[in-house]
Structure 1
Amino acid sequence: MMEIFPHNENHDFDLELVLQALKRCPAGGGDIDLREYLVAYNELCRFFKMTGRLFGFVAKDLEHKISAIERKQNSDEGQHYTTAEKMIQFEINSPSLVHKGQNKRSHSGTRTLLRLHWALEFILEFMSRMSKCSDHERTSKIATEVYEQTLSKYHPWLTRKMAAIAVYLLPSRKDLIHVMCKQDYQTVLQLLDKVVDAGKRVYDLIENIYRDHNLHNIP
Protein backbone atom coordinates (compact mmCIF):
# COMPACT_ATOMS: atom_id res chain seq x y z
CA MET A 1 0.00 0.00 0.00
CA MET A 2 1.32 3.46 -0.87
CA GLU A 3 2.50 5.55 2.06
CA ILE A 4 0.49 8.74 2.58
CA PHE A 5 2.12 12.14 2.46
CA PRO A 6 4.09 12.61 5.72
CA HIS A 7 2.27 15.71 7.06
CA ASN A 8 3.83 15.54 10.54
CA GLU A 9 7.46 15.38 9.51
CA ASN A 10 9.61 18.48 9.13
CA HIS A 11 12.26 18.32 6.48
CA ASP A 12 14.99 20.58 5.14
CA PHE A 13 14.65 20.87 1.40
CA ASP A 14 16.84 23.91 0.64
CA LEU A 15 15.37 26.08 -2.11
CA GLU A 16 18.10 28.68 -1.61
CA LEU A 17 20.74 26.05 -2.43
CA VAL A 18 18.88 25.22 -5.64
CA LEU A 19 18.68 28.90 -6.57
CA GLN A 20 22.37 29.60 -6.04
CA ALA A 21 23.46 26.50 -7.99
CA LEU A 22 21.18 27.40 -10.90
CA LYS A 23 22.54 30.95 -10.93
CA ARG A 24 26.09 29.55 -11.18
CA CYS A 25 25.18 27.19 -14.05
CA PRO A 26 25.71 29.53 -17.04
CA ALA A 27 29.33 29.07 -18.05
CA GLY A 28 29.56 31.71 -20.80
CA GLY A 29 29.19 31.31 -24.53
CA GLY A 30 25.79 29.69 -24.11
CA ASP A 31 27.24 26.75 -22.19
CA ILE A 32 26.26 25.14 -18.87
CA ASP A 33 28.47 24.09 -15.96
CA LEU A 34 27.43 20.47 -15.40
CA ARG A 35 28.69 20.26 -11.81
CA GLU A 36 26.52 23.18 -10.72
CA TYR A 37 23.60 21.72 -12.67
CA LEU A 38 23.94 18.47 -10.76
CA VAL A 39 24.23 20.29 -7.42
CA ALA A 40 20.83 21.86 -8.10
CA TYR A 41 19.40 18.57 -9.32
CA ASN A 42 20.61 16.58 -6.32
CA GLU A 43 18.69 18.93 -4.05
CA LEU A 44 15.60 18.78 -6.26
CA CYS A 45 15.83 14.99 -6.00
CA ARG A 46 15.71 15.26 -2.22
CA PHE A 47 12.40 17.08 -2.55
CA PHE A 48 10.87 14.16 -4.43
CA LYS A 49 12.29 11.64 -1.94
CA MET A 50 10.86 13.55 1.02
CA THR A 51 7.32 12.93 -0.17
CA GLY A 52 7.73 9.33 0.98
CA ARG A 53 6.70 6.97 -1.79
CA LEU A 54 4.64 9.54 -3.68
CA PHE A 55 7.39 10.47 -6.11
CA GLY A 56 9.84 7.76 -5.19
CA PHE A 57 9.86 6.39 -8.73
CA VAL A 58 10.73 9.85 -10.06
CA ALA A 59 13.54 10.38 -7.53
CA LYS A 60 15.05 6.97 -8.22
CA ASP A 61 15.16 7.59 -11.94
CA LEU A 62 16.66 11.07 -11.53
CA GLU A 63 19.28 9.83 -9.05
CA HIS A 64 20.34 7.11 -11.48
CA LYS A 65 20.82 9.72 -14.22
CA ILE A 66 22.69 12.14 -11.95
CA SER A 67 25.01 9.35 -10.82
CA ALA A 68 25.68 8.32 -14.43
CA ILE A 69 27.01 11.79 -15.30
CA GLU A 70 28.91 12.10 -12.01
CA ARG A 71 30.70 8.82 -12.77
CA LYS A 72 31.82 10.23 -16.08
CA GLN A 73 33.04 13.41 -14.39
CA ASN A 74 35.13 11.31 -12.02
CA SER A 75 36.51 9.03 -14.73
CA ASP A 76 39.68 9.32 -16.83
CA GLU A 77 37.58 11.22 -19.38
CA GLY A 78 36.29 13.69 -16.79
CA GLN A 79 37.76 16.71 -18.56
CA HIS A 80 35.17 16.20 -21.30
CA TYR A 81 32.26 16.33 -18.83
CA THR A 82 32.70 19.73 -17.19
CA THR A 83 30.14 21.52 -19.38
CA ALA A 84 27.21 20.46 -21.54
CA GLU A 85 28.82 21.63 -24.78
CA LYS A 86 32.13 19.89 -24.09
CA MET A 87 30.34 16.65 -23.22
CA ILE A 88 28.18 16.70 -26.34
CA GLN A 89 31.08 17.58 -28.63
CA PHE A 90 33.13 14.74 -27.15
CA GLU A 91 30.34 12.21 -27.54
CA ILE A 92 29.45 13.35 -31.04
CA ASN A 93 33.01 12.48 -32.00
CA SER A 94 32.31 8.98 -30.62
CA PRO A 95 28.95 8.40 -32.38
CA SER A 96 28.27 5.08 -30.68
CA LEU A 97 27.94 6.95 -27.38
CA VAL A 98 25.01 8.95 -28.68
CA HIS A 99 23.17 6.95 -31.32
CA LYS A 100 24.04 3.27 -31.54
CA GLY A 101 23.24 0.20 -29.47
CA GLN A 102 21.20 -0.08 -26.27
CA ASN A 103 24.24 -0.80 -24.08
CA LYS A 104 26.13 2.15 -25.53
CA ARG A 105 23.14 4.48 -25.16
CA SER A 106 22.95 3.66 -21.47
CA HIS A 107 26.46 5.16 -21.14
CA SER A 108 25.66 8.33 -23.07
CA GLY A 109 25.94 11.51 -21.04
CA THR A 110 24.24 13.35 -23.88
CA ARG A 111 21.20 11.10 -23.70
CA THR A 112 21.15 11.20 -19.89
CA LEU A 113 21.30 15.00 -19.72
CA LEU A 114 18.42 15.21 -22.19
CA ARG A 115 16.23 13.12 -19.84
CA LEU A 116 17.14 15.40 -16.92
CA HIS A 117 16.31 18.35 -19.15
CA TRP A 118 12.83 16.97 -19.79
CA ALA A 119 12.21 16.55 -16.07
CA LEU A 120 13.44 20.08 -15.37
CA GLU A 121 10.66 21.44 -17.57
CA PHE A 122 8.11 19.70 -15.32
CA ILE A 123 9.80 20.90 -12.11
CA LEU A 124 10.01 24.54 -13.19
CA GLU A 125 6.43 24.69 -14.44
CA PHE A 126 5.20 23.04 -11.24
CA MET A 127 7.08 25.62 -9.14
CA SER A 128 5.78 28.45 -11.30
CA ARG A 129 2.20 27.35 -10.81
CA MET A 130 2.85 26.84 -7.08
CA SER A 131 4.02 30.44 -6.73
CA LYS A 132 0.77 31.73 -8.24
CA CYS A 133 -1.89 29.52 -6.64
CA SER A 134 -3.76 30.14 -3.37
CA ASP A 135 -2.49 28.87 0.00
CA HIS A 136 -5.04 26.10 0.21
CA GLU A 137 -5.19 25.00 -3.42
CA ARG A 138 -4.28 21.35 -3.73
CA THR A 139 -0.97 20.84 -5.42
CA SER A 140 -2.26 17.52 -6.75
CA LYS A 141 -4.35 19.36 -9.34
CA ILE A 142 -1.40 21.51 -10.37
CA ALA A 143 0.97 18.55 -10.58
CA THR A 144 -1.51 16.56 -12.67
CA GLU A 145 -1.99 19.35 -15.20
CA VAL A 146 1.72 20.16 -15.45
CA TYR A 147 2.71 16.51 -15.75
CA GLU A 148 0.23 15.97 -18.57
CA GLN A 149 1.59 19.02 -20.40
CA THR A 150 5.26 18.14 -20.00
CA LEU A 151 6.88 14.95 -18.74
CA SER A 152 4.07 12.51 -19.50
CA LYS A 153 4.76 12.63 -23.25
CA TYR A 154 8.10 10.90 -22.63
CA HIS A 155 6.76 8.21 -20.29
CA PRO A 156 5.19 4.81 -21.06
CA TRP A 157 1.62 4.05 -20.03
CA LEU A 158 2.53 2.35 -16.73
CA THR A 159 4.66 5.28 -15.56
CA ARG A 160 1.87 7.72 -16.41
CA LYS A 161 -0.55 5.69 -14.30
CA MET A 162 1.89 5.61 -11.38
CA ALA A 163 2.30 9.37 -11.62
CA ALA A 164 -1.46 9.89 -11.57
CA ILE A 165 -1.69 7.97 -8.29
CA ALA A 166 1.31 9.78 -6.80
CA VAL A 167 0.11 13.31 -7.45
CA TYR A 168 -3.39 12.55 -6.17
CA LEU A 169 -2.06 12.38 -2.60
CA LEU A 170 -0.22 15.70 -2.64
CA PRO A 171 -1.55 18.26 -0.10
CA SER A 172 -2.27 22.00 -0.33
CA ARG A 173 0.48 24.44 -1.19
CA LYS A 174 0.73 25.62 2.39
CA ASP A 175 1.08 22.10 3.80
CA LEU A 176 3.56 21.05 1.13
CA ILE A 177 5.84 24.02 1.80
CA HIS A 178 5.52 23.74 5.57
CA VAL A 179 6.50 20.08 5.62
CA MET A 180 9.20 20.12 2.99
CA CYS A 181 11.15 23.33 3.09
CA LYS A 182 14.02 24.58 5.21
CA GLN A 183 13.01 28.20 4.69
CA ASP A 184 9.86 29.72 6.22
CA TYR A 185 6.67 29.95 4.20
CA GLN A 186 6.95 33.58 3.03
CA THR A 187 10.61 33.15 2.12
CA VAL A 188 9.77 30.09 0.02
CA LEU A 189 7.10 32.02 -1.87
CA GLN A 190 9.68 34.68 -2.70
CA LEU A 191 12.29 32.10 -3.66
CA LEU A 192 9.99 30.15 -5.98
CA ASP A 193 9.85 32.89 -8.61
CA LYS A 194 13.62 33.40 -8.40
CA VAL A 195 14.27 29.67 -8.82
CA VAL A 196 11.91 29.53 -11.79
CA ASP A 197 13.61 32.50 -13.46
CA ALA A 198 17.12 31.09 -12.92
CA GLY A 199 15.98 27.61 -13.92
CA LYS A 200 14.34 28.79 -17.13
CA ARG A 201 17.56 30.49 -18.17
CA VAL A 202 19.40 27.20 -17.64
CA TYR A 203 16.64 25.26 -19.40
CA ASP A 204 16.77 27.58 -22.42
CA LEU A 205 20.57 27.30 -22.68
CA ILE A 206 20.41 23.49 -22.71
CA GLU A 207 17.49 23.57 -25.13
CA ASN A 208 19.57 25.69 -27.51
CA ILE A 209 22.58 23.37 -27.26
CA TYR A 210 20.49 20.31 -28.18
CA ARG A 211 18.74 22.23 -30.96
CA ASP A 212 22.04 23.41 -32.43
CA HIS A 213 23.32 19.82 -32.52
CA ASN A 214 19.96 18.39 -33.69
CA LEU A 215 19.86 16.00 -30.72
CA HIS A 216 16.36 16.55 -29.34
CA ASN A 217 15.13 13.17 -30.54
CA ILE A 218 17.98 10.80 -29.69
CA PRO A 219 16.51 7.45 -28.51
Structure 2
Amino acid sequence: MGVKSKAAAAILVLLLFLGSLWIHGGLDYHWDSCFKGYNQVNTHHQLYNSSEANGAEGPQVMAVCPGQTFQVSLLFSHLLATPAYTSDVLMQPYLSSWDELVRFMEALGPMVGLISNEIGSKTSIIRQLALLSEGNPEAELGPDIHSINSVSADTGTTNSPQASQHTGAYHSVRSMIWVELNRGLVDFHHQTDSGCRTLLRLHRALLWLKLFLEKLAETPEAGRLRSPSDLCREAYQSTLANHHTWFVRRAAELAFIAMPDRGFFFRLVCVQSQEELKTMLNRVVQAIEEVYDRTQRALEENNMLDLP
Protein backbone atom coordinates (compact mmCIF):
# COMPACT_ATOMS: atom_id res chain seq x y z
CA MET A 1 0.00 0.00 0.00
CA GLY A 2 1.44 3.39 -1.02
CA VAL A 3 1.95 6.38 1.25
CA LYS A 4 -1.09 8.20 -0.20
CA SER A 5 -3.32 5.17 0.25
CA LYS A 6 -2.23 4.77 3.84
CA ALA A 7 -2.89 8.45 4.52
CA ALA A 8 -6.36 8.26 2.97
CA ALA A 9 -7.20 5.19 5.04
CA ALA A 10 -5.97 6.90 8.20
CA ILE A 11 -8.12 9.97 7.52
CA LEU A 12 -11.21 7.80 6.93
CA VAL A 13 -10.68 5.97 10.22
CA LEU A 14 -10.19 9.28 12.02
CA LEU A 15 -13.43 10.72 10.59
CA LEU A 16 -15.43 7.67 11.62
CA PHE A 17 -13.98 7.97 15.12
CA LEU A 18 -14.77 11.67 15.31
CA GLY A 19 -18.35 11.07 14.25
CA SER A 20 -18.85 8.79 17.25
CA LEU A 21 -17.39 11.40 19.59
CA TRP A 22 -19.36 14.37 18.31
CA ILE A 23 -22.34 14.53 20.60
CA HIS A 24 -20.80 13.68 23.94
CA GLY A 25 -17.05 14.12 23.70
CA GLY A 26 -16.13 10.49 24.33
CA LEU A 27 -16.75 6.96 23.15
CA ASP A 28 -20.34 5.97 23.76
CA TYR A 29 -22.20 2.70 23.81
CA HIS A 30 -23.12 1.42 20.34
CA TRP A 31 -26.66 0.33 19.59
CA ASP A 32 -28.19 -1.32 16.58
CA SER A 33 -29.75 1.38 14.43
CA CYS A 34 -32.11 -1.05 12.74
CA PHE A 35 -34.84 -0.70 15.37
CA LYS A 36 -37.50 1.70 14.22
CA GLY A 37 -40.14 1.74 16.93
CA TYR A 38 -42.09 4.59 15.52
CA ASN A 39 -43.23 5.16 11.96
CA GLN A 40 -43.57 8.66 10.67
CA VAL A 41 -47.25 9.49 10.47
CA ASN A 42 -47.34 12.93 8.94
CA THR A 43 -47.75 12.73 5.16
CA HIS A 44 -48.65 16.36 4.58
CA HIS A 45 -46.47 18.06 2.01
CA GLN A 46 -47.98 21.50 2.34
CA LEU A 47 -47.75 23.02 5.78
CA TYR A 48 -49.48 25.95 7.37
CA ASN A 49 -48.60 28.40 10.09
CA SER A 50 -50.92 30.57 12.13
CA SER A 51 -49.69 33.84 10.65
CA GLU A 52 -48.30 35.24 7.46
CA ALA A 53 -44.74 36.47 7.22
CA ASN A 54 -46.00 40.04 7.16
CA GLY A 55 -47.86 39.57 10.44
CA ALA A 56 -51.36 39.14 9.00
CA GLU A 57 -53.47 36.31 10.31
CA GLY A 58 -54.05 33.36 8.01
CA PRO A 59 -52.41 30.20 6.71
CA GLN A 60 -48.88 30.32 5.37
CA VAL A 61 -47.69 27.62 3.00
CA MET A 62 -44.25 26.04 3.25
CA ALA A 63 -43.92 24.08 0.03
CA VAL A 64 -42.02 20.92 -0.76
CA CYS A 65 -38.61 21.39 -2.37
CA PRO A 66 -38.49 19.06 -5.42
CA GLY A 67 -35.50 16.77 -5.80
CA GLN A 68 -34.21 17.22 -2.26
CA THR A 69 -33.78 14.41 0.27
CA PHE A 70 -34.00 16.90 3.14
CA GLN A 71 -37.37 18.64 3.25
CA VAL A 72 -37.64 21.71 5.45
CA SER A 73 -41.43 21.41 5.14
CA LEU A 74 -41.38 17.97 6.79
CA LEU A 75 -39.04 19.19 9.50
CA PHE A 76 -41.41 22.05 10.24
CA SER A 77 -44.39 19.70 10.25
CA HIS A 78 -42.80 17.34 12.78
CA LEU A 79 -41.71 20.22 15.00
CA LEU A 80 -45.22 21.65 15.09
CA ALA A 81 -46.60 18.22 16.09
CA THR A 82 -44.10 17.76 18.92
CA PRO A 83 -45.43 19.99 21.77
CA ALA A 84 -48.19 18.32 23.80
CA TYR A 85 -50.51 19.37 26.60
CA THR A 86 -49.10 22.35 28.51
CA SER A 87 -45.44 21.39 28.97
CA ASP A 88 -44.66 18.04 27.39
CA VAL A 89 -42.95 16.84 24.20
CA LEU A 90 -44.21 13.88 22.17
CA MET A 91 -41.40 11.50 21.39
CA GLN A 92 -42.58 10.26 17.99
CA PRO A 93 -42.60 13.64 16.18
CA TYR A 94 -39.51 14.67 18.19
CA LEU A 95 -37.55 11.73 16.78
CA SER A 96 -39.05 12.33 13.34
CA SER A 97 -37.74 15.89 13.55
CA TRP A 98 -34.31 14.46 14.22
CA ASP A 99 -34.64 12.13 11.24
CA GLU A 100 -35.08 15.19 9.04
CA LEU A 101 -32.26 17.08 10.78
CA VAL A 102 -29.99 14.09 10.11
CA ARG A 103 -30.88 14.40 6.41
CA PHE A 104 -30.05 18.09 6.66
CA MET A 105 -26.59 17.33 8.04
CA GLU A 106 -25.98 14.57 5.51
CA ALA A 107 -26.76 17.05 2.73
CA LEU A 108 -23.89 19.25 3.93
CA GLY A 109 -21.30 16.72 2.79
CA PRO A 110 -19.45 13.63 4.05
CA MET A 111 -17.55 15.45 6.80
CA VAL A 112 -20.70 16.72 8.51
CA GLY A 113 -22.64 13.63 7.46
CA LEU A 114 -20.41 11.45 9.61
CA ILE A 115 -21.52 13.45 12.61
CA SER A 116 -25.13 12.63 11.83
CA ASN A 117 -24.41 8.91 12.25
CA GLU A 118 -23.97 9.39 15.98
CA ILE A 119 -27.24 11.29 16.25
CA GLY A 120 -28.98 8.53 14.34
CA SER A 121 -27.66 5.97 16.79
CA LYS A 122 -29.10 7.96 19.68
CA THR A 123 -32.56 8.22 18.18
CA SER A 124 -32.36 4.44 17.67
CA ILE A 125 -31.61 3.95 21.37
CA ILE A 126 -34.82 5.68 22.40
CA ARG A 127 -36.81 3.87 19.74
CA GLN A 128 -35.45 0.53 20.91
CA LEU A 129 -36.25 1.34 24.53
CA ALA A 130 -39.78 2.22 23.47
CA LEU A 131 -40.12 -1.15 21.73
CA LEU A 132 -38.77 -3.04 24.73
CA SER A 133 -41.16 -1.24 27.07
CA GLU A 134 -44.28 -2.12 25.06
CA GLY A 135 -46.61 -4.47 26.89
CA ASN A 136 -45.82 -3.15 30.37
CA PRO A 137 -48.91 -2.61 32.56
CA GLU A 138 -50.41 0.85 32.31
CA ALA A 139 -50.25 1.08 36.10
CA GLU A 140 -46.50 1.59 35.83
CA LEU A 141 -46.90 4.75 33.80
CA GLY A 142 -46.78 8.25 35.18
CA PRO A 143 -49.55 10.82 35.39
CA ASP A 144 -48.32 12.81 32.42
CA ILE A 145 -49.16 9.95 30.07
CA HIS A 146 -52.81 10.10 31.06
CA SER A 147 -52.99 13.89 31.05
CA ILE A 148 -51.48 14.22 27.58
CA ASN A 149 -54.20 12.07 26.07
CA SER A 150 -56.99 13.62 28.08
CA VAL A 151 -58.87 16.85 27.46
CA SER A 152 -56.58 19.88 27.48
CA ALA A 153 -57.27 22.29 30.30
CA ASP A 154 -56.25 25.20 28.07
CA THR A 155 -58.21 24.46 24.92
CA GLY A 156 -60.94 22.10 26.07
CA THR A 157 -60.04 19.74 23.23
CA THR A 158 -58.16 16.51 22.95
CA ASN A 159 -54.72 16.34 21.41
CA SER A 160 -54.14 15.40 17.79
CA PRO A 161 -54.31 11.78 16.59
CA GLN A 162 -50.51 11.70 16.67
CA ALA A 163 -50.59 12.40 20.39
CA SER A 164 -52.75 9.39 21.15
CA GLN A 165 -50.98 6.82 19.01
CA HIS A 166 -48.39 5.92 21.64
CA THR A 167 -49.39 5.73 25.28
CA GLY A 168 -46.40 3.74 26.49
CA ALA A 169 -43.61 4.72 28.80
CA TYR A 170 -41.61 6.39 26.05
CA HIS A 171 -44.37 8.21 24.23
CA SER A 172 -43.32 11.60 25.65
CA VAL A 173 -40.38 13.24 27.37
CA ARG A 174 -42.08 13.55 30.74
CA SER A 175 -43.48 10.01 30.67
CA MET A 176 -40.01 8.67 29.87
CA ILE A 177 -38.45 10.63 32.72
CA TRP A 178 -41.10 9.50 35.17
CA VAL A 179 -40.82 5.82 34.22
CA GLU A 180 -37.03 5.67 34.11
CA LEU A 181 -36.70 7.40 37.47
CA ASN A 182 -39.20 5.03 39.06
CA ARG A 183 -37.52 1.98 37.57
CA GLY A 184 -34.09 3.15 38.72
CA LEU A 185 -32.73 3.35 35.18
CA VAL A 186 -31.20 6.81 35.56
CA ASP A 187 -27.79 7.03 37.23
CA PHE A 188 -26.71 10.54 38.20
CA HIS A 189 -23.09 9.49 38.74
CA HIS A 190 -22.29 6.90 36.06
CA GLN A 191 -23.06 6.45 32.37
CA THR A 192 -26.08 4.29 31.59
CA ASP A 193 -28.07 3.42 28.51
CA SER A 194 -31.10 5.33 29.76
CA GLY A 195 -33.39 7.25 27.47
CA CYS A 196 -32.95 10.31 29.67
CA ARG A 197 -29.19 10.39 29.20
CA THR A 198 -29.62 9.84 25.47
CA LEU A 199 -32.22 12.61 25.28
CA LEU A 200 -29.83 15.02 27.00
CA ARG A 201 -27.22 14.45 24.28
CA LEU A 202 -29.81 15.07 21.57
CA HIS A 203 -31.01 18.12 23.47
CA ARG A 204 -27.54 19.65 23.48
CA ALA A 205 -27.12 19.00 19.76
CA LEU A 206 -30.51 20.58 19.06
CA LEU A 207 -29.33 23.81 20.68
CA TRP A 208 -26.29 23.83 18.40
CA LEU A 209 -28.41 23.38 15.27
CA LYS A 210 -30.98 25.91 16.46
CA LEU A 211 -28.30 28.53 16.97
CA PHE A 212 -26.68 27.74 13.63
CA LEU A 213 -29.96 28.13 11.73
CA GLU A 214 -30.67 31.31 13.66
CA LYS A 215 -27.33 32.78 12.62
CA LEU A 216 -27.78 31.58 9.06
CA ALA A 217 -31.04 33.54 8.90
CA GLU A 218 -29.46 36.79 10.05
CA THR A 219 -29.25 39.68 7.62
CA PRO A 220 -26.47 42.13 8.56
CA GLU A 221 -27.33 45.81 8.51
CA ALA A 222 -24.09 46.56 6.72
CA GLY A 223 -21.32 44.52 5.21
CA ARG A 224 -21.12 41.05 3.73
CA LEU A 225 -22.96 37.97 4.96
CA ARG A 226 -20.72 35.72 7.01
CA SER A 227 -19.91 32.25 5.71
CA PRO A 228 -21.96 29.29 6.96
CA SER A 229 -18.66 27.73 8.06
CA ASP A 230 -17.95 30.61 10.43
CA LEU A 231 -21.54 30.68 11.69
CA CYS A 232 -21.61 26.95 12.40
CA ARG A 233 -18.26 27.16 14.18
CA GLU A 234 -19.50 30.04 16.31
CA ALA A 235 -22.70 28.18 17.20
CA TYR A 236 -20.69 25.11 18.13
CA GLN A 237 -18.27 27.05 20.33
CA SER A 238 -21.11 28.43 22.44
CA THR A 239 -22.97 25.11 22.77
CA LEU A 240 -21.55 21.63 22.20
CA ALA A 241 -17.95 22.72 22.66
CA ASN A 242 -18.70 23.21 26.35
CA HIS A 243 -19.19 19.43 26.67
CA HIS A 244 -16.31 18.27 24.47
CA THR A 245 -12.65 17.55 25.06
CA TRP A 246 -9.87 19.59 23.47
CA PHE A 247 -9.30 16.87 20.89
CA VAL A 248 -12.93 16.79 19.79
CA ARG A 249 -13.13 20.59 19.61
CA ARG A 250 -10.11 20.64 17.29
CA ALA A 251 -11.60 17.86 15.19
CA ALA A 252 -14.85 19.83 14.85
CA GLU A 253 -12.93 22.60 13.16
CA LEU A 254 -12.09 20.20 10.32
CA ALA A 255 -15.76 19.48 9.73
CA PHE A 256 -16.65 23.17 9.59
CA ILE A 257 -13.97 23.89 6.98
CA ALA A 258 -15.86 21.64 4.56
CA MET A 259 -19.19 23.44 5.11
CA PRO A 260 -20.87 24.47 1.80
CA ASP A 261 -21.31 28.10 0.84
CA ARG A 262 -24.50 30.08 1.37
CA GLY A 263 -25.77 29.44 -2.14
CA PHE A 264 -26.00 25.75 -1.31
CA PHE A 265 -28.44 26.50 1.53
CA PHE A 266 -30.59 28.56 -0.84
CA ARG A 267 -30.88 25.55 -3.13
CA LEU A 268 -31.39 23.13 -0.23
CA VAL A 269 -34.61 24.87 0.86
CA CYS A 270 -35.58 26.29 -2.56
CA VAL A 271 -35.26 30.01 -1.90
CA GLN A 272 -33.75 32.73 -4.07
CA SER A 273 -32.48 35.28 -1.57
CA GLN A 274 -31.31 35.86 1.97
CA GLU A 275 -34.63 37.50 2.81
CA GLU A 276 -36.53 34.40 1.75
CA LEU A 277 -34.11 32.21 3.69
CA LYS A 278 -34.55 34.42 6.74
CA THR A 279 -38.36 34.14 6.61
CA MET A 280 -38.29 30.37 6.30
CA LEU A 281 -35.56 29.67 8.86
CA ASN A 282 -37.07 32.01 11.43
CA ARG A 283 -40.24 29.92 11.41
CA VAL A 284 -38.23 26.72 11.82
CA VAL A 285 -36.11 28.23 14.60
CA GLN A 286 -39.22 29.37 16.46
CA ALA A 287 -40.64 25.84 16.29
CA ILE A 288 -37.32 24.34 17.46
CA GLU A 289 -37.19 26.83 20.32
CA GLU A 290 -40.59 25.72 21.61
CA VAL A 291 -39.50 22.07 21.61
CA TYR A 292 -36.13 22.91 23.14
CA ASP A 293 -37.59 25.03 25.94
CA ARG A 294 -40.13 22.36 26.91
CA THR A 295 -37.42 19.68 26.98
CA GLN A 296 -35.10 21.97 28.92
CA ARG A 297 -37.73 22.54 31.61
CA ALA A 298 -38.48 18.83 31.94
CA LEU A 299 -34.79 17.94 32.31
CA GLU A 300 -34.10 20.85 34.64
CA GLU A 301 -37.02 20.03 36.94
CA ASN A 302 -35.60 16.54 37.37
CA ASN A 303 -31.96 17.67 37.78
CA MET A 304 -30.91 15.92 34.55
CA LEU A 305 -28.97 18.65 32.77
CA ASP A 306 -25.61 17.18 33.83
CA LEU A 307 -26.15 13.44 33.48
CA PRO A 308 -22.78 11.76 32.85
TM band (smaller chain): 0.7 to 0.9
Q: Match of 1:121?
A: 207
Pairing 1:195–2:284 present:
yes
Pairing 1:184–2:271 present:
yes
1:68 corresponds, among 100, 117, 125, to 125
Q: Match of 2:216?
A: 130
For 1:110, give the aligned amino acid: C
For 1:137, give the aligned amino acid: R
For 1:153, give the aligned amino acid: N
For 1:65, give the aligned amino acid: K
SS at match of 2:84: strand
TM-score, normalised relative to structure 2: 0.63
CA displacement at 1:156 relative to structure 2: 2.1
- Report percent identity of matched pairs: 28
For 2:170, give the aligned amino acid: Y
1:80 corresponds, among 165, 169, 183, to 169
Larger Rg: 2
> Within 5 A, what are the aligned runs for 1:147-186?
147-178=236-267, 180-181=268-269, 183-185=270-272
Between structures 1 and 2, the one with greater helix share: 1
CA displacement at 1:49 relative to structure 2: 1.4
Kindly provide the CA deviation profile for residues 6-35 of structure 1, in whole angstroms up to 9, marking residues without a partner as x.
xxxx74311111111111111113000010
> Within 5 A, what are the aligned runs for 1:36-75?
36-75=93-132
Q: Match of 1:34?
A: 91
Distance 1:212 1:91, change over 3 A: same
Distance in 1, matches of 2:112 and 2:279, equals 25
CA displacement at 1:170 relative to structure 2: 1.5
Pairing 1:93–2:182 present:
yes
Kindly provide the CA deviation profile for residues 153-185 of structure 1, in whole angstroms up to 9, marking residues without a partner as x.
11222221221011112232222332x33x334
CA displacement at 1:127 relative to structure 2: 0.3
Gaps of 5+ in 2: 1-7, 13-66, 136-167
Segment drifting more, 142-151 vs 48-57: 48-57
CA displacement at 1:71 relative to structure 2: 1.1
CA displacement at 1:101 relative to structure 2: 5.0
SS at match of 1:99: coil
How many residue pairs match? The answer is 208
Larger relative contact order, structure 1 or 2 (CA cutoff 8 Å, min sep 6): 1
For 2:108, give the aligned amino acid: T
Distance in 2, matches of 1:147 and 1:154, equals 10
For the Cα contact (< 8 Å) 1:121–1:150, is it kept in 2? yes
Alignment RMSD: 2.2
Gaps of 5+ in 1: 4-9
2:80 corresponds, among 23, 30, 50, to 23
Pairing 1:139–2:225 present:
no
SS at match of 1:74: helix
For the Cα contact (< 8 Å) 1:91–1:98, is it kept in 2? no
For 2:218, give the aligned amino acid: K
For 1:47, give the aligned amino acid: F
Pairing 1:110–2:196 present:
yes
Distance in 1, matches of 2:234 and 2:271, equals 27
For 1:119, give the aligned amino acid: A
Kindly provide the CA deviation profile for residues 105-139 of structure 1, in whole angstroms up to 9, marking residues without a partner as x.
1x200000010000000001100010114685311
